[in-house]
Amino acid sequence: QSILLTCSLMLYILFIQYDIVMGSCYMSTQMIVRIDPALKAKANNFAKAEGKNVSEVVRELLEAYVRNRDIGSYIDDLWNRTGKKLKSKGVRQKDIQQVIDTVRAGK
């Protein structure tokens, strides 16, 4: 009984570790897309050449599609780029208002 419990516990721990390591590899939903068979064959060949499967390629394309159209992500990216540019120029947090005033005065 204790051996069975120990084995069950070990399997459970391995499952949790696998789930943590694989993380985003576990997908919770499917999407069925109908495409031309020739397109599917070409996509398969290109994906294999890159060491991927078609599902990975489609996920990457959909993520890029949504990212490029999601205004919130665009604004977050804009703030990040602006922050990096200011930081690279030595602007500190306490200098931000002065920078804003300087930029506005130039318009």
> What tens digit of pLDDT does each residue of 66-82 get?
888 888 878 888 888 88
**Distance between CA 23 and CA 19 in Å, rounded?**
6
Q: pLDDT band at residue 100, thresholds of 50, 70 and 90?
A: confident
Q: pLDDT band at residue 107, thresholds of 50, 70 and 90?
A: low
Q: pLDDT band at residue 17, thresholds of 50, 70 and 90?
A: very low
| DSSP labels, 44-84 | HHHHHHTT--HHHHHHHHHHHHHHHH-HHHHHHHHHHHHHH
**Distance between CA 102 and CA 104 in Å, rounded?**
6
Residue 38 has pLDDT above 70, yes or no: yes
**Distance between CA 61 and CA 98 in Å, rounded?**
41
Structure tokens at 103: 């930029």
